[in-house]
Amino acid sequence: MDYVVTAVLEPPVAVQGLDELQQQGVVALLDRRLALVEGVTGPDQADIDVLDFRISPGPDRTTVVLVLDAPSLVAAEWAAATVLDELLGEIDELSGWSVAESKVRITEDEFNQSLAAADVRTPDDSSELELAVEEALGAAEPAVEAKHWRETLLECAPRLRAFGPEAFAVPGADESAARLAAGALIHAVWVVTDEIFYDELSLSINNATVDEAQGLLVLSELPPCYGARYDSAFARAFLLASAAVATRLSEPVWTPPQCVAEALALRLLVHEAQVLLDAAELLDWSRSTPIFAAFGAAAFDDTAHELLYEVDARQSDDAVNSAWEGELRERGIAFEQWFGARTGAPGLHPYLQFR
């Protein structure tokens, strides 16, 4: 059964009152280690899996929300406390920190309701758990401050130089909504880039693919039909493709995605932007969807990559090859074509040319 556990981590008295930079440092230290944790064995030898997590920093405490597959509520609370206590003991920079609390603060019914709500708001099955965790984090720390996020995203918005407000214009949406969407897209660059780094490290250490790994942050949102091919080498190549897209978003003239991997990277950035706007209660999913659809019409010159999400995720890679490969290759989106420059496109990063 899935449980959402909220744990509170407290620093020693001597380091109370962390500034924003210190808070983000704590998040980075915990995030890097938690991304590698797949689970723990309970006192009764039952396997308890870590499915997902979110970290919310503060000046006097840090809140960690963990989604665990555990045999009981007690086991879930024990596992969360044990995992975090061990991590704190391993991180020298967090010496003296302690787990002050580890409790299930959201019931099974509430968790299922969150998943159902997520299913309504987005077609991506991979995002359901993420949205449920975001809502659980909001329930545990009601201070996801809309005012703070509004100010942050409006400050980020001018960095999206490739597009003006007209790219986000839809009937019924004002310029403020367009600016928030632009800022969220820029903020998503920071989030997704960090998450790809963490996923690559996890895949490399475990010599695994996305199909085999647990606790990944973003690569699991790629088309599941090719999950068996997303290994650490792929993650490094995909990071370069993502970086190219992010760089062009800040340039004065937009260059559309030059390969399938870049198109998928931009798709991930849009999804992360929507998740943030929804979690911060600035634009819910139904309001942001048409805004980003308008942006997509301006940003993508080819949406063939969307077909990849229509391939049955339950098919094996061999089944994909036999049932879909011909059509995917004809459209230029078969896996072997992801890092190849499209006709007339400028050359890609040399690293990608050896894929």
Give the per-residue pLDDT at 351: 67
Residue 242: is its pLDDT beyond 80? yes
Could you report the per-residue pLDDT of 259-280, keeping only the tens digit for each?
A: 999 999 999 999 999 988 988 8
The pLDDT, as a whole number, for residue 131 is 54
pLDDT band at 352 (very low <50, low <70, confident <90, very high): low
pLDDT for the residue 268: 96
Average pLDDT over residues 58-78: 85
Phi, psi of 326 (to 5 degrees): -60, -50
- Judged by average pLDDT, the poorest of 148-162, 242-256, 284-298, 320-334 is 320-334
CA torsion 189-192-194-197 (nearest 10°) is -130
Question: What confidence tier does 345 reach under pLDDT thresholds 50, 70, 90?
Answer: low
Write the CA distances from 29 to 35, 54, 179, 203, integer angstroms.
10, 13, 31, 18
Position 126 scores a pLDDT of 45
Residues 200-210 have pLDDT tens digits of: 988 998 899 99
- Residue 144: pLDDT band by 50, 70, 90 thresholds? very low
What is the chain's length?
355
Mean per-residue pLDDT of the chain: 82
Sorted by sequence, the CB contacts under 8 Å of residue 22 that are 6+ apart come out as none
Residues 89-141 pLDDT 10s: 888 888 889 988 887 755 444 545 554 554 444 444 445 555 555 555 454 44
Identify the burial level of 277 via C-beta atoms within 10 angstroms of its C-beta, where 0-12 means exposed, 13-18 middle and 19 or more buried: buried
141 vs 88, higher pLDDT: 88
Q: What is the pLDDT of residues 153-179, one digit of tens each?
A: 999 999 999 999 999 999 887 889 999
Q: How much is the pLDDT for 107?
A: 45
